[in-house]
């Protein structure tokens, strides 16, 4: 998926560090001719300005890992903490320094709405876990996966409430900065969340699901902003999840390792040689290595480095296995328990309401009148 692709204002030539070879592949248009520029020449000039603004030796934050593709394209992976102001600054600085052709973020189409929501709305949304959200999660992912998603949202809501900070700030900053870079595309690089949750649930036995749900339900440890920054080398949310799922290696594989593979695949897809605009069809095609910025949680960076030079096949990790017998039994058990609790709740409320009505003075008076008015045999 590609986000907005906007043309920003051509930057001033002052304080610009030209890229080696940029003037050889992009024709220079003299400033005196700018008033008579054709559309093709204007695009060429804008691209040249972008390449001139791109730093040959960018000054990058320590959280950035540089990877090089076979065709010479460069990928700058920014490892972030999802609840960190410093991570936002790292993303902004990296995009401004390297002027990328593509920005890839650790989001999927099911979470893209957070890019355009303001911080206060997101903060309120993240704190509230409503019945409507539960219904939506169940509709998208099924009963067990939907319940697991809500428990994970509870973890995120716990961190949000502790810190007073909405998650995903670095992705919103990446979206804003990408729109300011000429010809920059915005890609969603994470595996669809329903696939991840369904594969995660399928990897667990019934008792493992119960044990994990219990741990998520009773998460209440206090968290400070200092804790977040100390966890900069490993994203806080992912570290908390890793601690809880450490005894479930299959769950770690589906939630972390498989997404490392998917993110690596999407970054490599984005890092393809870039074809320069041509003034006419007769002009030969010219391509240059592209520059990509990836914005991912710090916990995914080692996996991306590990998978960068390996052959990847994402078909296997995109399939959802059929439910096992234990899975079907557990779903029936959850449904039966839910309906049982609902029925008991209605019965209890009915008895309570009846007792309350019968105890009212007016009810007692009406019953007494009805008793005395009844004819005796």
pLDDT in tens, 333-358: 767 777 788 888 888 888 888 888 77
Are 203 and 271 part of one and the same domain?
A: yes
Are 150 and 205 part of one and the same domain?
A: yes
Residue among 252, 265, 278 at smallest CA distance from 43? 278
Cβ contact 69:59 at 8 Å: no
Are 338 and 274 part of one and the same domain?
A: no
* Per-residue confidence (pLDDT) for residue 232, from 0 to 100: 46
- Residue pLDDT, tens place only, 356-365: 877 778 777 7
In a domain, 63, yes or no: yes
**Domain, as residue range, for 342:** 329-369
Strands 74-80 and 102-105: unpaired
Answer whether residue 377 shows pLDDT above 60: no
Answer whether residue 204 shows pLDDT above 60: yes
- Residue pLDDT, tens place only, 266-301: 999 999 998 877 767 787 888 889 999 999 998 899
Reported as type and span, the H/E element at residue 230 is: helix 225-230
In a domain, 220, yes or no: yes
- DSSP at 253: I
The confidence band for 201, taking pLDDT boundaries of 50, 70 and 90, is confident
Answer whether residue 14 shows pLDDT above 60: no
Are 313 and 365 part of one and the same domain?
A: no
* Per-residue confidence (pLDDT) for residue 20, from 0 to 100: 35
In a domain, 49, yes or no: no
- Residue pLDDT, tens place only, 101-139: 999 999 999 888 888 877 677 666 655 665 566 566 666
- DSSP at 110: G
Are 263 and 341 part of one and the same domain?
A: no
In a domain, 52, yes or no: no
Are 337 and 271 part of one and the same domain?
A: no
- Average pLDDT over every residue of 246-272: 89
Rounded to the nearest 10 degrees, the angle between the axes of helix 143-163 and helix 206-217 is 20
Cα gap 204→113, rounded to integer Å? 30
Are 206 and 295 part of one and the same domain?
A: yes
Residue among 153, 284, 270 at smallest CA distance from 216? 153
SS3 category, 313: coil
Indicate the residue among 284, 301, 322 that finishes a domain.
Answer: 322
SS3 category, 64: strand
Residue among 299, 337, 296, 330 at smallest CA distance from 145? 330
Q: Which residues pair with 2 in a beta bridge?
A: 187
The confidence band for 213, taking pLDDT boundaries of 50, 70 and 90, is low
SS3 category, 209: helix
Are 225 and 194 part of one and the same domain?
A: yes
Strands 287-288 and 274-275: antiparallel
Domains: count for the chain: 2
In a domain, 183, yes or no: yes
Answer whether residue 54 shows pLDDT above 50: yes
In a domain, 7, yes or no: no
* Main-chain dihedrals φ then ψ at residue 329, nearest 5 degrees: -65, -45
Q: How far apart are the first and last CA of the chain?
A: 84
In a domain, 18, yes or no: no
Cβ contact 53:16 at 8 Å: yes
In a domain, 6, yes or no: no
Are 343 and 248 part of one and the same domain?
A: no
Q: Count the neighbouring beta carbons within 10 Å of the beta carbon of residue 102.
A: 27
Residue among 182, 191, 165, 166 at smallest CA distance from 105? 191
- Burial of 98 per CB tally in 10 Å (0-12, 13-18, 19+): buried
Q: Count the neighbouring beta carbons within 10 Å of the beta carbon of residue 55.
A: 15
Are 205 and 338 part of one and the same domain?
A: no
Are 70 and 87 part of one and the same domain?
A: yes
Q: Tell me the torsion sign for CA atoms 128, 129, 130, 132.
A: positive
Residue among 222, 84, 57 at smallest CA distance from 166? 84
Are 225 and 351 part of one and the same domain?
A: no
- Average pLDDT over every residue of 305-319: 93
- Residue pLDDT, tens place only, 143-182: 566 666 666 666 666 666 666 677 788 999 999 999 999 8
């Amino acid at each position: 998926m590609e986000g907005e692709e906007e043309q920003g204002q051509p930057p001033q030539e002052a304080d610009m560090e030209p890229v080696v070879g940029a003037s050889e592949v992009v024709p220079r248009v003299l400033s005196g001719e700018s008033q008579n520029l054709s559309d093709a020449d204007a695009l060429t000039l804008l691209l040249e300005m972008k390449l001139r603004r791109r730093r040959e030796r960018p000054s990058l934050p320590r959280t950035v890992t540089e990877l090089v593709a076979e065709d010479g394209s460069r990928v700058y992976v920014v490892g972030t903490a999802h609840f960190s102001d410093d991570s936002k600054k790292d993303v902004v600085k990296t995009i401004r320094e390297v002027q990328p052709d593509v920005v890839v973020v650790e989001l999927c189409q099911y979470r893209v709405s957070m890019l355009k929501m303001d911080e206060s709305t997101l903060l309120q949304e993240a704190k509230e876990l409503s019945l409507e959200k539960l219904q939506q999660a169940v509709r998208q992912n099924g009963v067990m996966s939907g319940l697991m998603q809500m428990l994970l949202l509870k973890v995120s809501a716990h961190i949000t409430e502790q810190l007073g900070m909405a998650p995903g700030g670095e992705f919103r900053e990446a979206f804003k900065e990408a729109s300011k870079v000429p010809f920059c595309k915005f890609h969603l690089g994470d595996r669809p969340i329903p696939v991840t949750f369904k594969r995660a649930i399928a990897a667990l036995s019934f008792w493992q699901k119960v044990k994990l749900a219990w741990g998520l339900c009773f998460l209440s440890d206090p968290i400070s902003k200092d804790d977040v920054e100390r966890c900069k080398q490993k994203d806080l949310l992912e570290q908390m999840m890793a601690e809880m799922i450490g005894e479930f290696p299959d769950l770690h594989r589906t939630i972390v390792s498989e997404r490392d593979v998917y993110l690596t695949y999407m970054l490599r897809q984005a890092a393809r040689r870039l074809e320069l605009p041509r003034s006419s069809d007769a002009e030969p095609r010219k391509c240059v290595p592209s520059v990509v910025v990836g914005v991912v949680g710090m916990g995914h960076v080692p996996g991306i480095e590990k998978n960068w030079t390996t052959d990847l096949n994402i078909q296997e990790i995109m399939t959802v296995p059929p439910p096992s017998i234990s899975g079907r039994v557990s779903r029936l058990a959850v449904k039966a328990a839910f309906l049982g609790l609902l029925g008991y709740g209605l019965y209890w409320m009915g008895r309570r309401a009846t007792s309350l009505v019968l105890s009212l003075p007016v009810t007692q008076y009406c019953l007494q009148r009805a008793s005395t008015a009844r004819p005796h045999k």
